[in-house]
Each structure stands twice: as structure tokens, then as C-alpha cells.
Chains A and B, each alone.
Chain A
């Protein structure tokens, strides 16, 4: 509706501009003043030096007397450096792994002590700059695929222990492939602005109201394991949105699930034993198997944690506020009908049942509770109860390998021999038959998932 005043040229635009400006400022403020990773705890934070309970940083008691390099190795595992700095099937820490982001592809760097292509020429200060601030020695600002906004909470001592360990490794000559980022993202300078806004550049500050176990868990989850980098959704500026901390996000084509204690969407119904087994072995009976990036995190990092650290991590996870996610319903536990014919009809992407009959039923059975190896039961698994079927499709495409307590589990990769339509069909068939809500994955979406690492 127009009034005589704003009908005149100029004024409405100014008004609109002013409102827009205010919105932008508010939005930037919303982004910049977003809560930190442990803000939910609302406790009083103090500097580490002033904290007199047991030190939540460093290595666990078992390794306290070990050499600097051995401690560094443990911490490098806790920080899961290898997962990103290793190409699948390639030399550990030699870098080169591609990260396909919406605005281009970037590659992880060589962090072996090779002087030319690795970090051989890094001083301690160089290394701390990279880990805490995302400042590369030669190439300026690093992209936040390097989780320096998390690693910034790592103590200098721990970071330098990791460096000491890395410097014991064999130097490998492995130049990092050139990033292929679109403008303006190829402007590394812009990363300074990003850092200024989203990297707090401060070390871990213990929470006085929480005990030492909780603080150790927080340090492991935030400064080291950087769980949030995958499990916390990001805002428009690609920074972690801790208002939805651990509520789940899609990362590298896989869905990192909700790990809040919410009982419908999260891990609230998981027992300590299940969680501990899952984190340490990548598999828990009735909870399924860690695949994709989580499988790598278990292999390269979580499976190496001392029992005390694992317990601390779980203690911390249980205190995060529970958040329900719309498309992650309560897990279905009633098995499907026993025979092929009694499956009901599934309209989305035909042909799924035929693929299931040939390629899947042999192991997984028709009820979802496998007649054979209990470890591969589909009933009650989060991925199957995910109405996007993202991870179901990914596991079908890429397969996975785990060592379960009763022997090795091996999900073959079916991606190369089955069409997008068949994979979409069978993924939808699986969610419809065994999950709480049927997915409607399309062949085009599967084609896109295939391109993700």
C-alpha cells in the first residue's frame, strides 16, 4: 500500500535500504556473535592456567610418562589428522585428498616433514599459526576445511607434541594438487575476514561448574576430535551454527547424524555400552556400522582412544542439549514381514525389490532382522530410519568394512555395477520396508552422491 509520503521517489528506497542494512547488521551480528562450541554449558570459563582440578588437556595418565613423540602420536590420532591428510589408499599424512565443496574443490596438504612439499621447514611458531589460526607458512590463509576454528582450542603443548611426532615420520615428496575454487572463494585473503569473524583464536578454557571428566571430554570433542565440524550444521558463512550443536549435517555427501541426547532423532536411547562399542569399534549390535567419514574417524582416531578418554567423551556428549530433527524419526523396531511377497508395495523408483532380492536379501534377509550374521541387521539403524536415505545409498555405492566382535563385516560396494535408478530404488525399498518413513531418493540425487568422496 502506498501513502503520499512513500509514493515520492527516493524515500521508499532509503527506507528499504535502511531496513536491509539493519537486517544485514543483525544477521552479521547473529553470525559473528554465535555461541561457541561449549557455550551451552553456561558455566564460568577460566584460563587453563587458573584451573586447579585435573588438567583436561594433554595425554591420559597411561601415557603421561611417554616420550614427546609417543604423546604426540596419541594426540595426532585424537585430533584425527590422518583422516583428512591422507588420500584413500595413499601414504599416511601425504595429503592430496580432495574436498568437494559447493564452491569448488580443495585438497589437503602434505604434513610429512618434507621440506619442499610438506611441513619440514615449519618452525614451532609456523605450526601453531597453522593449527590455531589457519595461517599456512607459504600459502597464506588456509581454508576452514582445515578445522582450525576447532583446533584453536588446542594447547600449544599438545599442538607441538603433534608436530614433534610428525617430524619423526619419513618425509614424503608429495606436492598438493591445486585447488579449483570459483571466485571469490579463490581469494585466500578473504579467509582473513572469515577468520576474524569465526575463529575465536583462543585456547581451551575449562568450565568451573563441570568436573574434570566433563572438561576432558569437551577438550577431546572440541579441540581435538572436532566432532562439530561434521555433526553441527553450518550457517550461511560456512561457520558452525552452535545453536543447533550436534544436530546433524550433510558432509562430503554423507549424513553426519544427530548426536544430541534427543530420544527420537539423537542418541538418547543408546546405552553407554552401545555408544562405547560404536565409538571404539565402529559397530554396535542393533545400531549398525560406522561407514563413510565416520568409519574413517573410528579407524584413524576414535578406536585409538584410551578407555578413560572414551568415557569422558561420552560424558560430555550426554550433556549437549537435545534437539529433534524433522526427518530423523523415532527408530522403527518392529520387523518387516517374513517373506518377499508381504512387503507391501513401494511406489518410489520401481525395481528396488528386484535389486534387493538379488544383491541384499542373502545377508540382510526379508524381515530386517538378519537370519544369519546379527551384526548386519537393518532394523533399528539410524541410516535406515532417515527419510533422505542418504547414507543407505552411500553405503550401497561405496560399501564398508568393519571388524565386529564376532568377525569381520564386509559390505560390498555395489556402486559400479548398478544404475542410479537401481540404487535409488533399492535405497527407497530399504527405508520403506525396514525404516520408520519411506524415502523418495531419485536417480539424479544418486548421481550427485556418487561424485562425493
Chain B
């Protein structure tokens, strides 16, 4: 069975089990490897992608659920918020092992796309679902603030 949707701005049809989680369809069928597998239960956020602009955990979302929708992965980030986030991540040297960071960047981008100047509480709300075992959390917080400021400037 095949499912058609827009992947990083390109109409895409993937021939795969419609119950296959979007994560594995993106990784193993579409061949985009930036989105990571961390828990398979929507508990860690490593697999976060955007579906219709909203952050979702692709590890529990069946491929069938994105039919006709727009899916954006770390490889397809284009918005000015995304670029600001990635620049701030480099400036503040956020990543350590880096494995969770695609998901962190996706969640942070979605936050800034809906909230131009998030408070610490907003950041807690949007980012606490993304686990980082290296605990880069203080830098993630600082980088989100920095990205918000750089967009404003």
C-alpha cells in the first residue's frame, strides 16, 4: 500500500505498511536519517518532526495518518526561525552526543514559529518532552532565547 504526502516540500509517495510509524517510513523508505529513534513510545522526542507545522512524535504516528499532509524533517527546515535556532545552537555549542538534537531543534523551531518571544515557562512547556541524556538543557534554553533575540534584531 502506498501513502502520499508532502515531505520537505516535495510530493512523496511511500510504498509501505500504512501502520508503519512515520519515523521508520522517513528513515528506511524515504532514506532521510536526521530523525532519530530513541524510545518508540513518544516519551523522548528524538523523532520529532513537523506535521502541518506542528511538532509530532513520528515514532508513534502511523504513516497512514499523514496522508495528504505536509511533513517537515530536520533536513527540510527552511523558516527563519529554524535558521535562527540552528545558528544559536552552534553559537552556544549546544550538542554533546548530538543524537537527540534533531528532535530538540524541531521542537524549538516549532515553539518559535508559534511564539516569537517564549518565556522560560513556555520553553519548559514546549521542550520538556524532549529528553537529552547528556543534559544539554541549560544550553538549549539559552539558545532558544538567543534565537528569539536574533530574529527580533
Contacts and interface: CB of A to CB of B under 8 A. Distances in A.
B60 A363 contact: yes
Interface in B1-57: 18-19, 21, 41-43, 45, 51-52, 54-57
B5 to A, nearest CB: 14
Q: Is the interface of A mostly helix, strand, loop or mixed?
A: mixed
A213 B89 CA distance: 66
Contacts of B119: 341
B19 A407 contact: yes
Interface residues of A, number: 23
A371 B65 CA distance: 10
A400 B122 CA distance: 30
B41 A341 contact: no
B51 A358 contact: no
Nearest to A374: B65
A373 B61 contact: yes
Most buried by B among A341, A406, A407: A407
Contact of B42 (A338, A363, A407, A408): A363
Contacts of A353: 125
Contacts of A358: 128-129
B61 A372 contact: yes
Contacts of A354: 124, 128
Interface in B48-105: 51-52, 54-57, 60-62, 64-65
Contact of A357 (B21, B41, B129): B129
A412 interface: yes
Chain B contact-residue range equals 20 to 34
A345 to B, nearest CB: 11
A412 B125 contact: no
A335 B114 CA distance: 17
Contact of B125 (A340, A363, A372, A408): A340
A180 interface: no
B126 interface: yes
Nearest to B53: A371
Contact of B43 (A341, A359, A365): A359
Contacts of A410: 41, 60
B18 A361 contact: no
A412 B55 CA distance: 20
A339 B56 contact: no
Contact of A406 (B19, B41, B121, B124): B19
Nearest to A409: B60
B103 to A, nearest CB: 10
A377 to B, nearest CB: 12
B16 to A, nearest CB: 12
B38 to A, nearest CB: 11
A397 B128 CA distance: 20
Contacts of A341: 115, 119, 121-122, 125
Nearest to A365: B54
Nearest 10 CB-CB pairings of A with B = A340-B125, A372-B56, A362-B129, A371-B54, A407-B62, A357-B128, A358-B128, A407-B19, A363-B42, A406-B62
10 contacts: A339-B125, A340-B126, A359-B129, A365-B54, A372-B42, A372-B65, A373-B60, A373-B62, A406-B62, A406-B65
Given A359-B43, A362-B129, A410-B60, 17 more contacts: A338-B114, A339-B114, A339-B122, A340-B121, A340-B122, A353-B125, A354-B128, A357-B124, A357-B125, A361-B128, A362-B42, A362-B43, A363-B60, A371-B52, A371-B55, A372-B42, A406-B18
Interface of B: 18-19, 21, 41-43, 45, 51-52, 54-57, 60-62, 64-65, 114-115, 119, 121-122, 124-126, 128-129
